[in-house]
Every structure is written in structure tokens, then in C-alpha cells.
């Protein structure tokens, strides 16, 4: 019976949702290491809400390739997690009740 638990745990830790969480966490750490996050937010505060689109597009286009790759991985992982969450909220759950 223990082998069933080990297989179940391995499948849980290597599942698609778990891999998306790992990718999101790794890309967040990479972005934290590659950029000065507090400076990004300071500069963003200077342009205000009206200039957000220009600021974000300029910031993404004028960064180094590793930062762009980390942003791409983070956005894909976040979209995958949002899709998984929306599926789980919209899908009806069948409750098991032994009789």
C-alpha cells in the first residue's frame, strides 16, 4: 500500500499544475535577481496610471534577453494556472457519499 502512496505523491508533485507553480516561482526568483524591483515600482509611480502601457512596453522591450525570457515563462505559467483555476471553479464536483 505504501507504493501506491509513493506513486500518488510523485504524480502529484510532477503534475501539470505543480510544474506551472514551479515555473512561476522560479521565474519570479529570476526576475528578482535580474532586476531592481523596487526601482521598477519607483519609476512606474512617476508615470502614473495613464502612462502604464507605455512604461510597461518600453520596459519589456529595453531589457536584456534573460529578463524577457523570465517574463515570458512567468506569464505563460500564470495563464496556465488561471486556466486551471477557472476550469476547477466552473466544473461541477461530484461528492462521494457511501451508502
Three cell numbers, residue 82: 488561471
Number of domains in the chain: 1
Parent domain of 32: 15-90
Place of cell 461541477: 92
7 domain-assigned: no
38 domain-assigned: yes
Provide the CA 33 distance to its chain's centre, in angstroms. 16
Q: What is the pLDDT of residue 15?
A: 86
Mean pLDDT of 4-31: 89
Q: What is the pLDDT of residue 97?
A: 63
42 domain-assigned: yes
18 and 12 Cβ atoms separated by less than 8 Å: yes
Q: Quote the pTM value.
A: 0.74
99 domain-assigned: no
Furthest CA-CA distance within the chain: 64
20 and 84 Cβ atoms separated by less than 8 Å: yes
Amino acid at each position: 500500500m505504501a507504493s501506491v502512496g509513493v506513486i500518488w505523491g510523485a504524480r502529484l508533485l510532477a503534475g501539470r499544475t505543480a510544474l506551472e507553480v514551479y515555473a512561476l516561482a522560479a521565474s519570479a526568483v529570476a526576475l528578482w535577481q535580474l532586476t531592481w524591483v523596487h526601482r521598477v515600482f519607483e519609476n512606474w509611480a512617476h508615470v502614473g496610471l495613464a502612462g502604464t502601457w507605455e512604461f510597461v512596453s518600453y520596459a519589456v522591450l529595453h531589457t536584456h534577453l534573460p529578463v524577457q525570457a523570465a517574463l515570458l515563462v512567468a506569464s505563460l505559467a500564470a495563464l496556465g494556472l488561471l486556466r486551471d483555476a477557472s476550469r476547477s471553479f466552473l466544473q461541477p464536483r461530484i461528492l462521494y457519499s457511501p451508502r
